[in-house]
Amino acid sequence: MKTSEKIISLLKVEGALTAKVLASELQLTTMGVRQHLQALEESGDISFEDKKALRGRPTRYWALTTKSNSRFSDRHEELTVQLIDSVKSVFGDSGLEQLISHREQASLDLYQTALADKESLEDKLNTLAELRTEEGYMANVIKGSLDDKKCDDTVFWLLENHCPICAAASSCLNFCRSELNLFQTILADVATVAREEHIIEGARRCAYKVKAFDKI
């Protein structure tokens, strides 16, 4: 993978980062990273924001622009929206709901089979993240707080840094409802699931807070 592609991937998963942090992650010099950042800025894939520091000069943070979305899988957005419109036209809203329910059930069967031998909530979530990543969601799991990552054995976050069905979800929000319901069903015996960040609402990722049930 080219350095520029690695930078794009890191910014997609981690959010806004400084050149110094990127250099550390990529094991490159800060000067070398800045050259790639400049090229990506010129291509319109990234932009920067200078944030006031406690001391000294402001710190420059780099982040992806909407143009960078073209670098990631989109599952043929235009065709997807056309098919959704066609289903609505031919079969009505109830027909579209049946289609979404069928997709949800197929995913449920797949995920439940993969998670069947996973005993802990953390193992279940890591396996689910692997499956979602294979589907293009660039998923990962964090334990504890998103802000300071304090250890909390009862709270996890399932983070999806890309939405390969974004066009479909934008056209029909029931796809998003279906995915939340899917996670809640899979983990119903061990945890609650709530979506705290949503790409469709302007967030850079979808973030699902997973809270384990208290042990009796």
Tokens of 94: 């109830």
Residue 58 is classified by DSSP as P
Structural domains of the chain, ranges and CATH numbers in brackets: 3-71 (1.10.10.10), 77-212 (3.30.1380)
Question: Which tens digits make up the pLDDT trace of 176-214?
Answer: 888 999 999 999 999 999 999 998 888 889 999 999 987
Concatenating the DSSP letter of every residue in 27-56 gives T--HHHHHHHHHHHHHTTSEEEEEE--SSS
Cβ neighbourhood burial of 51 (10 Å; 0-12, 13-18, 19+): exposed
Tokens of 155: 């709270």
Cβ neighbourhood burial of 137 (10 Å; 0-12, 13-18, 19+): buried
Report mean pLDDT in 10-residue bins for the chain, 216 residues.
Answer: 92 94 95 95 94 87 89 64 75 80 90 95 96 92 76 87 76 80 95 93 92 79
pLDDT of residue 148: 57
